[in-house]
Amino acid sequence: MVDPSMPAFTDANVPLEATNAPDRALVIGATGHVGRLFLEQGLELFPNTEFRVLLRDVEKCKGMPEGVDCREGDVLDAESIQRACDGFTRDSLIFDSVTQINLSPTDRDGSIAAINLEGVTNVVEVAKRLDLTLHKGHSNAGVPCPTVGMMTERQSAGELDEEPIYTTLPYLKAKRDASRVLLRAYEEGLRGFVSYLPLPIGPSSREDAVFNGLARTFAKTSRYFHPAGVDIAYVDARDAAKAHWLAYMRGLHGDFILSSNATKEDIMGSFAEVFSVSLRPWPLQKTTVVRLGKLMDFFKAWLSRNRELPLSEVTAKLMFANQRYSSAKAKEAFDFAPRPTRDSYRDHFQDLLNRGIVSASGSRRPISIW
C-alpha cells in the first residue's frame, strides 16, 4: 500500500515536494525526451544538486539548461561514464534513458546491440563499481509481449505466446536482454528503478520523432490514419520523469510499467482542440498494411538499399501488436496516476504548434514541464 507519510504522485501540473536530494546526478540521454524532462524537473526540485549530462557531442551543451555541467562521453565507453561521475558518493544518482530505435531485421555491424545492450551493461557496471543509485528509463520492448491479455513486468514462461518478431528482431531482443542485465544487477544489490515506457509523448519531443511526422500528415490531410481496432499505448514523458524523482526520494527500487492507452477519439479530439482541424478517422487494416510493408521491403532490397522507407513488414506488424500494458504495480507501489489522455495529447500537440513543427492554425500558449 502507499505510505501516506511519503511524497505522493501529485496531480498533473503540480510539482513534487522536494525531500531527500541527491548530492550529484548524471543524466545520460538528456537530449532525448524523458531525459530532458527528468533534468528540467530535477533542476527545479533540487537547486543545490550538481547536475551533469553525458554527451557524445559537447556542442549540444549549448542547448542544455543553465548551470548544467556537460561531460563528454559515450555509453559504449565505460571509462568515460566513470570519469563523468568523479566525486560521486553513495548519495549520487545516474539516470539513463538512452535508446536507439532501429527496426532492421539484421544487426550486421552489431550497432543495435551495442547501444541498447552493451551501453546498458556499461552503465550498470559503473553504478555497481561506485555504489551509486541507478534509474533507467527503459523501453516497453524490455518486457515480454504476449499477443493477447494484459502485459505485466513479469510474465511466466507458460503465459508467453509471442509472435516470432519479438524474440528475433535485433532491437527487441537487445532490449529484452538489457532488462535481464538490469534485473540481475538489482537482485545482486544494486539500488535501482526501471520504468518500461511505451511511446513517450509530451512537450519538448525530438523534432525527428516519428509521431511528429504523423501529426504533420494529419494536419495536411485532415485524416487520422490509425491501426483498426488498436488503442495506442503511451506515457506522458512528464509523468515518467516525475515517477523517477518520486521513486528516488522514497528510496523505491524495482521495475515498473508506466503506461496509458489513447483511443482514436482522444487523439482526434486533442488535435482539433489545438489546431482547429477536425480529423476524419481512417482505419488501416492489418492484412493490407502488412502486405504494403512487404512490398516496401522488396523495393528497399532491390531498388533503394540506402534509403529508409516509411513502412516495412516489421513496423506493420508492430502497429497491430498487443498494446495492453498494466500499470497496476506502479499504482500499488507509489500511487502512479497519469494525467488524462486528452491532457497529454493536447499539450503534446500544443508544443508542436509552439515550436512550428506542425504548421496549422492555433494559438500559442506555454506548456509546463510538470
Rounded to an integer, what distance in angstroms lies between the CA atom of residue 361 and that of residue 40? Answer: 29
The predicted pLDDT at position 309 comes to 65
Q: How many domains does the chain have?
A: 1
Q: What is the CATH number of the domain that holds 114?
A: 3.40.50.720
Q: Which three cell numbers stand for residue 365?
A: 500558449
In a domain, 9, yes or no: no
Strands across the sheet containing 254-257? 69-72, 50-55, 24-28, 93-96, 133-139, 192-197, 254-257
In a domain, 346, yes or no: no
The predicted pLDDT at position 85 comes to 98
Q: What are phi and psi of 93, to 5 degrees?
A: -135, 140
The predicted pLDDT at position 225 comes to 94
In a domain, 310, yes or no: no
The predicted pLDDT at position 70 comes to 97
Task: Give the type of residue at 275.
Answer: F
Q: Give the length of the chain.
A: 370
The predicted pLDDT at position 168 comes to 82
The predicted pLDDT at position 360 comes to 81
Bridge partners for 364 per DSSP: none
The predicted pLDDT at position 307 comes to 64
In a domain, 281, yes or no: no
In a domain, 96, yes or no: yes
In a domain, 364, yes or no: no
Per-residue pLDDT of the chain (370 residues; tens, 9 = 90+): 456 667 788 888 889 999 999 999 999 999 998 999 999 999 999 999 999 999 999 888 898 999 999 999 999 999 999 999 999 999 999 999 999 888 888 899 999 999 999 999 999 999 999 999 999 999 999 998 888 889 999 876 566 688 778 878 999 999 999 999 999 999 999 999 999 999 999 888 888 888 898 999 999 999 999 999 999 999 999 999 999 999 999 999 999 999 999 999 999 999 999 999 999 999 999 999 999 999 988 888 877 666 666 688 888 999 999 999 999 999 999 999 999 999 999 999 999 999 999 988 889 999 999 9
Report whether 183 contacts 255 (CB < 8 A).
yes
Domain span at residue 255 reads 24-201+234-260+324-338
In a domain, 248, yes or no: yes
Distance from chain centroid for Cα 250: 22
In a domain, 16, yes or no: no
Q: How far is CA 124 from CA 71, 128, 179, 194, 296, in A?
A: 18, 6, 11, 12, 39
Rounded to an integer, what distance in angstroms lies between the CA atom of residue 141 and that of residue 42? Answer: 26
